[in-house]
Amino acid sequence: MGVNAPRDAATTASRTYRVRQLRRLAVLVTLPGLLVGGASIAAAYGVGLFHRGHGGCEPVTVPAPVRDSFDVTVLNAAETAGEAKAVAKEFTRRGFRVDAYSNAPEGVYIKRSAMVYHGPEGLDQALLVAKQIPDALAYDDGRAGESVQVVLGYGFRSLIAAPPPPPPEPDEIKINVYNTTWRAGLAGEAARELRARAFHTGTIGNDPNRAFLPDDVAVIRFGPDGVEQATVLRTHLPGARMQQDERTGTEIDIVLGNGFDHLLPLSEVVIPPKPPPTPPETVARPCATE
């Protein structure tokens, strides 16, 4: 027994070493498959195979790119349906240029809140986008150009809180002007008043919906994306009634009723104060791994 014990211990240690070596080899063999497959980098991050260390160096802070100077694609790999659309809409509201949104391909799994994929030319763009999502991670997948792709993961809850953007200026608002009264030319008169205040006018004429507004000054029709535009218009006609419909885009309608006479005098229009200027945005480039 005393002679065989060291030999058994040596044999056990040798077997343990070989098992560890085989496991390491398995990881090395499996990892390229993850990088090539459809779930690729997202899968590798999901199982925690990739880690980025800083090595004691400090990130470099540089000016961030302009938010609408590059394309952002949003994909949803989370459990909640509709997240890509909601995030894309909020990114647009925050000044980013979203070119597409959809569900992620089948089988993509991301454990964290989001991955932001970019190429060598899009690092700063990805870092700026990643700042909008808590726990998001930017990763260089070698793509060309400055465009980035956001893939929302199972850990996604919401974007970071952000102040609302300033209301649109009149010259950024397009209004269709419709008449529901017996007063010929009323829509044209109102359109001229609106243009004098820098609003853009679209279709001018009788209401295509043939509304009957005997007791209304006007009705402002707008879709989900046109709330801010409708709110600005209402400051010029406080008696108007707001009416949301299912249209897309920010174009709105003003439908004139029997109570309409003219817009509120410009001297009485309450113009909200402009927000204070914000400091230029920056991003912190991470340390390069060795």
- Phi, psi (degrees; rounded to nearest 5) at 161: -65, 140
Confidence (pLDDT) at 55: 55
**For the chain, counts of helices (H) and of strands (E):** 6, 12
Q: Do 188 and 236 reside in the same domain of the chain?
A: yes
Using the predicted structure, report yes or no on whether residue 254 has a pLDDT greater than 80.
Answer: yes
Residue 97, domain extent: 60-164
Does 143 fall in a domain?
yes
Lowest mean pLDDT among 20-29, 119-128, 195-204, 230-239: 20-29
In this predicted model, which residue has the larger pLDDT, 10 or 226? Answer: 226
Confidence (pLDDT) at 97: 97
Distance between first and last Cα of the chain: 50
Q: Do 148 and 124 reside in the same domain of the chain?
A: yes
Confidence (pLDDT) at 47: 33
Does 280 fall in a domain?
no
Confidence (pLDDT) at 16: 43
Which of 164, 180, 208 finishes a domain? 164
| Domains: count for the chain | 2
Confidence (pLDDT) at 114: 98
Confidence (pLDDT) at 28: 32
Which of 140, 164, 188 finishes a domain? 164
Does 118 fall in a domain?
yes
Confidence (pLDDT) at 6: 39
Q: Do 66 and 143 reside in the same domain of the chain?
A: yes
Q: Do 144 and 183 reside in the same domain of the chain?
A: no
Chain CA centroid to CA 177, Å: 31
* E strands present in the chain: 60-63, 71-76, 97-103, 114-118, 137-140, 148-152, 174-179, 200-206, 218-222, 241-244, 252-256, 282-285
Does 93 fall in a domain?
yes
We report the CATH number of the domain holding residue 116 as: 3.30.70
Q: Do 132 and 94 reside in the same domain of the chain?
A: yes
Q: Do 258 and 187 reside in the same domain of the chain?
A: yes
Lowest mean pLDDT among 29-43, 72-86, 191-205, 274-288: 29-43
Confidence (pLDDT) at 207: 97
In this predicted model, which residue has the larger pLDDT, 238 or 276? Answer: 238
Does 30 fall in a domain?
no
Confidence (pLDDT) at 289: 52
